[in-house]
Amino acid sequence: MPGKDSTSIDPAAKKLLKKARVEKISTAFSRTGVIKPCPIGLVGACCKVCYMGPCRLLGSSGEEKVGVCGATLATIAAREFARAVAAGVAAHSDHGRDIAFALLDTASDKNRDYHIKDEKKLVALANYMDIETNSRSTSSIAIELAQRTLADFGNQRGILSFINRAPSTRLELWRRLDLLPRGIDREVSEMMHRTNMGTDQDPEHILDQALRTSLADGWGGSMIATELSDVLFGTPHPIAASTNIGVLKEDEVNILVHGHQPLLSEMMVEAVRDEQLIELAHRNNAKGINLAGVCCTSNEVLMRHGISPVGNFTHQELALLTGAVDLMVVDVQCVMESLAKLASKYHTKLISTSPKAKITGALHLPFREQEALSFAKEIVVLAIENFNKRGEVTIPRSTAKLIAGFSHEYLSYMLGGTHLASYRPLNDAIIDGRLQGVVAVVGCNNPRVTQDEGHYYISRELIRNNVLVVQTGCGALATAKQGLMRPEAKDYAGPILRLICETVGIPPVLHMGSCVNNARILNSLSQMVADGGLGNDINELPVAAVVPEWMCEKSLAIGSYFAASGVYVLYGVGSPVAASQTVTDILNTGWEKKTGGKIEFEPDYNRIIDKVLDHLKKKRDSLGAATERQKEIYGGKRRKSLIWWRNRLRNWQHRV
């Protein structure tokens, strides 16, 4: 484990940070040394929901102190946490809403440049939602699907369209606990109301609503964003790419897409392949046009087109420090405000495109969705025209190969083949005790901890212990940069996981997409339950989630919906509710009693690993009796015959 004093485990990052120091350019890394976190806000002890305060409840007797209105530390910490969850849910869900509108406008022929790429998934989703599909045109099915999902946002008393994808036992539990989200916007709005001055004043009750609000993200907004993006742009399947700063090219026009939405970035992929624009680039002395990305917009085009990510959240400033980025185009979320100033030190053009996000110092060109391709081409032209203005460039030559594109559907196909698509072989490996379990290592970078270290160290230790690791977001790009998403990384895995990787032909760490694509993980968990042998609910599965380098409200929303779904979630860095033992206990043992899932904050990576492995073992042990029964049910002739058929079909598919 590299020393804690280092900024990053990535040599490319270190090289560029050195350049920043020499050129006296500030970055998030240098600013963390200057801006010390507010010690009161850091631990959830500051209340600023009214102007009688802000009330700062710190000191050894903090838990007994109260604010001007009498609010306890527990109420204050719970409110802060719950508001952060609501903000995260709003961000993911607003993204989902935009995708649903884009599908509606595409199917209604308003968005002429988009096309429905995965009709099979469209029909599957429609069937799932009891939308009539027989003798109907693709566009009419898509219109109804978009309208039904859009209704999920404004629902007042219904339940969300996709929530029935959770195991029935879980649904029943949510119903009993009154945690079923009624409408996405309603839950966010109610969360803000309840945490307004003088409303909900019971920490457990406040956090119950945080659970319900988070479910409106995982099984609502994020799932809508994920599923409808697949319908519009295609469901991912394995695809090769490279990552890290070295994907920038000295002799080509470099364009970076950054943010979260795939709507513009999909068109950018098409635009940079336009023959006339490539010709224009040649006329401007460039050998070609190179598109790469940062953060989750990057993950979206990586998963579907193999577009190479230049890096994750804390790589956004570093990419500009190379002097080789001709244009960076951003939409929403995780875009550092420092970029405009940084871009102005080089020739880089920074373009903001979302009507929701304007950045002082950037060129604001609101995205025209109905002329999406011409809009994307205009941006490419701006980048080409900027190429000749480049000064000196410094591109560290670091790159790593990776395989991305593991959608939940592809995992099912990969494990069972076209005709027996199923998670059963994965379940079998766990039932037989060969695989210890599955762990999601997800979330951001945070420059307050060594960049990528948590993601890499924890993932590597888990695979060494025969745990399959799945990833999304910036965490995925962290381990990809370190080479854990190459098939050859199987050599780091324990003997059983290595064998599985060799047999199925996968890396031991699977990239499942952007942060809204954590919904793919929820669907996978549901399918693991449905395919049998591992209990009746998600909380019985030997699975866990780790968010080692978290930094934003969206991370807290994600962890909360995993916990509400029955998953043990461990965060690194530090606890935003550390001031209140009451709230710390509610998120941990309190939630565990209710949902079987829980949230814990643990900055020590070794302890995270120990806790995760211990948890997986406990779950496997408690499945023991059930597992024996399942072995009988699925054992003997029936199981052998399934395996025989699966192998036969695979051979046949290979020949085809």
**Which residues are at the interface with ligand XCC (CB under 6 A)?**
295-296, 312-313, 334, 443-444, 473-474, 514-515, 552, 554
Q: Which are the contacts of 249, defined by CB distance < 8 A and separation ≥ 6?
A: 287, 288, 290, 324, 395
Of the candidates 517, 429, 506, which has an alpha carbon nearest to the alpha carbon of residue 473? 517
* Rounded distance between C-alpha atoms, residue 180 and residue 218, angstroms: 12
Of the candidates 365, 361, 327, which has an alpha carbon nearest to the alpha carbon of residue 347? 327
- Quote the least distance from Cβ 551 to ligand XCC, whole Å: 6
CB 560 within 8 A of CB 85: yes
- Quote the least distance from Cβ 513 to ligand XCC, whole Å: 10
- Quote the least distance from Cβ 14 to ligand XCC, whole Å: 20
* Rounded distance between C-alpha atoms, residue 296 and residue 473, angstroms: 6
- Quote the least distance from Cβ 444 to ligand XCC, whole Å: 3
b/e 372-381 (16+ beta carbons within 10 angstroms → b): bbebbbebbb
Q: Which are the contacts of 541, defined by CB distance < 8 A and separation ≥ 6?
A: 437, 438, 525, 528, 529, 534, 535, 566, 619
- Quote the least distance from Cβ 473 to ligand XCC, whole Å: 3
- Quote the least distance from Cβ 67 to ligand XCC, whole Å: 31
Closer residue to ligand XCC in complex, CB, 142/444: 444
DSSP letter string over 583-613?
A: HHHIIIIIHHHHHS-EEEE---HHHHHHHHH
Closer residue to ligand XCC in complex, CB, 318/334: 334
* Rounded distance between C-alpha atoms, residue 485 and residue 489, angstroms: 7
- Quote the least distance from Cβ 12 to ligand XCC, whole Å: 18
Closer residue to ligand XCC in complex, CB, 311/590: 311
Cross-sheet strand order for the sheet of 467-471: 509-511, 467-471, 437-441, 543-547, 568-571, 598-601
Closer residue to ligand XCC in complex, CB, 280/442: 442
Select the residue whose beta carbon is closest to ligand XCC and give its number.
Answer: 444
| HSE, side-chain direction, 13 A CA sphere, residue 102 | 29
- Quote the least distance from Cβ 442 to ligand XCC, whole Å: 7
| Strand 568-571 relative to strand 598-601, pairing | parallel
Closer residue to ligand XCC in complex, CB, 417/443: 443
Closer residue to ligand XCC in complex, CB, 540/549: 549
* Rounded distance between C-alpha atoms, residue 203 and residue 412, angstroms: 40
- Quote the least distance from Cβ 544 to ligand XCC, whole Å: 18
- Quote the least distance from Cβ 312 to ligand XCC, whole Å: 6
* Rounded distance between C-alpha atoms, residue 481 and residue 244, angstroms: 6
For residue 412, what are its two tokens?
Answer: 């099912």
Residue showing tokens 């599985």 = 500
Closer residue to ligand XCC in complex, CB, 474/543: 474
- Quote the least distance from Cβ 46 to ligand XCC, whole Å: 23
Tell me phi and psi for residue 479, to 5 degrees: -75, -30
- Quote the least distance from Cβ 73 to ligand XCC, whole Å: 28
* Omega prior to 39 cis, within 30 of 0: no
CB 294 within 8 A of CB 256: yes
Cross-sheet strand order for the sheet of 308-311: 308-311, 289-294, 253-259, 327-330, 349-352, 363-364
Q: Which are the contacts of 83, defined by CB distance < 8 A and separation ≥ 6?
A: 191, 192, 195
Q: How many C-beta atoms surround the C-beta of residue 202 within 10 A?
A: 12
Closer residue to ligand XCC in complex, CB, 332/525: 332
- Quote the least distance from Cβ 263 to ligand XCC, whole Å: 16
* Rounded distance between C-alpha atoms, residue 110 and residue 98, angstroms: 14
Closer residue to ligand XCC in complex, CB, 317/540: 317
Q: Which amino acid is at 381?
A: V
Bridge partners of residue 7, in order along the sequence: none
Closer residue to ligand XCC in complex, CB, 253/332: 332
- Quote the least distance from Cβ 477 to ligand XCC, whole Å: 8
Closer residue to ligand XCC in complex, CB, 514/523: 514
- Quote the least distance from Cβ 275 to ligand XCC, whole Å: 33
Closer residue to ligand XCC in complex, CB, 145/295: 295
For residue 380, what are its two tokens?
Answer: 């490419």
- Quote the least distance from Cβ 479 to ligand XCC, whole Å: 13
Q: Which are the contacts of 550, defined by CB distance < 8 A and separation ≥ 6?
A: 443, 444, 446, 556, 559, 571, 572, 573
Per the document, the length of the chain is: 656
Closer residue to ligand XCC in complex, CB, 267/552: 552
Residue showing tokens 């993932």 = 459
Closer residue to ligand XCC in complex, CB, 71/91: 91
Closer residue to ligand XCC in complex, CB, 444/579: 444
DSSP letter string over 281-332?
A: HHHTT-S-EEEEEEHHHHHHHHHHH-PEEEE-GGGHHHHHHTS--SEEEE-S
Closer residue to ligand XCC in complex, CB, 203/221: 221
SS3 label, residue 66: strand
Q: How many C-beta atoms surround the C-beta of residue 614 within 10 A?
A: 12
| Strand 46-47 relative to strand 55-56, pairing | antiparallel
